[in-house]
């Protein structure tokens, strides 16, 4: 019984060894192509980053688009390798499963995707920036941070409110003051009328000094 087991084991190992030897050139070819693709894609991403730096894109958008370009290039490389190795049927089955999985993931994170798309538009259009005073999604405050998914506002009482970008895009927003002195003044005053009254007093004092 033991002899039969050993014979079967050695026979199986022999088959595996012969299969590895048979696939050896293909495996070496695959490794070489993957190494070359790695460096080629790295160079492409480097030039893409330089291009985005010249056209003054937002850093978050640059990072996102650069990664997307990298993923697309890797997908092209994998499809080409599959064709070269004659694994088309297996790849088609995996692709179908992957498509269903991707659809499920997309449905699960659709709100996140909406936030990201809205964030890209906000960052690229730059209607408001850090330090600007805006009213958005029922909150009014100074823009503390703008990321791909969320915008953070600092309210007059010092609280930080996190607003999803999709809400800002859907509900709209109101610009009140640009970054700088005006924004700081608005941040400390209760309302616009008190700010105007304060400025009037400053002007009257200046006029009295000149007299």
CATH number, domain with residue 194? 2.30.30.60
- Given a cut of 70, whether residue 138 has pLDDT beyond it is yes
**What angle (nearest 5°) sits at the alpha carbon of residue 207, between those of residues 202 and 211?**
145
Q: Model's pTM, two decimal places?
A: 0.45
Give residue 85's region: left, alpha or beta (phi > 0; psi -120 to 50): alpha
Same domain, 144 and 181: yes
With tokens 């790695």, the residue in question is: 38
- 134, 151 contact by CB (below 8 A): no
Same domain, 49 and 133: no
pLDDT tens track for 52-79: 777 666 666 677 778 888 888 888 888 7
Same domain, 95 and 167: no
Same domain, 97 and 164: no
Residue 179 three-state SS: coil
pLDDT tens track for 117-129: 777 777 766 777 7
Q: Please give the Cα distance from 183 to 185 (Å, whole number).
A: 5
* Structural domain range at position 52: 2-108
Final residue of a domain: which of 108, 135, 160?
Answer: 108
Structurally, the chain folds into a number of domains equal to: 2
**pLDDT band (50, 70, 90) for residue 27:** confident
Q: How distant, in Å, are the alpha carbons of 63, 150, 204 from that of 112?
A: 17, 10, 52
Same domain, 90 and 133: no
Q: How distant, in Å, are the alpha carbons of 58, 63, 96, 150, 176 from that of 121?
A: 11, 15, 32, 12, 20
Percent of the chain as helix, strand, coil, to the nearest 5: 70, 15, 15
**pLDDT band (50, 70, 90) for residue 194:** low
Same domain, 92 and 136: no
Q: Please give the Cα distance from 211 to 206 (Å, whole number).
A: 9
Of 100-109, 157-166, 170-179, 200-209, where does the model show the most confidence? 157-166
């Amino acid at each position: 019984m033991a002899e039969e087991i050993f014979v079967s084991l050695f026979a199986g190992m022999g088959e595996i060894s012969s299969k590895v030897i048979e696939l050896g050139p293909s495996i070496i070819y695959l490794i070489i192509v993957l190494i070359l693709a790695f460096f080629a894609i790295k160079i492409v991403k480097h030039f893409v980053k330089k291009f985005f730096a010249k056209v003054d894109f937002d850093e978050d958008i640059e990072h996102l688009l650069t990664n997307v370009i990298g993923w697309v290039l890797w997908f092209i490389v994998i499809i080409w390798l599959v064709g070269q190795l004659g694994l088309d049927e297996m790849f088609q089955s995996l692709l179908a499963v992957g498509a269903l999985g991707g659809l499920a993931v997309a449905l699960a994170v659709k709100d996140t995707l909406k936030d990201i798309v809205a964030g890209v538009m906000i960052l690229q259009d730059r209607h408001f920036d850090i330090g600007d005073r805006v009213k958005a999604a029922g909150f009014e405050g100074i823009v503390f941070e703008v990321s791909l998914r969320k915008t953070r506002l600092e309210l007059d009482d010092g609280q930080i409110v996190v607003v999803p970008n999709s809400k800002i895009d859907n509900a709209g927003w109101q610009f009140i003051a640009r970054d700088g002195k005006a924004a700081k003044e608005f941040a400390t005053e209760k309302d616009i009328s008190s700010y105007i009254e304060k400025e009037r007093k400053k002007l009257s004092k200046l006029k009295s000094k000149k007299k």
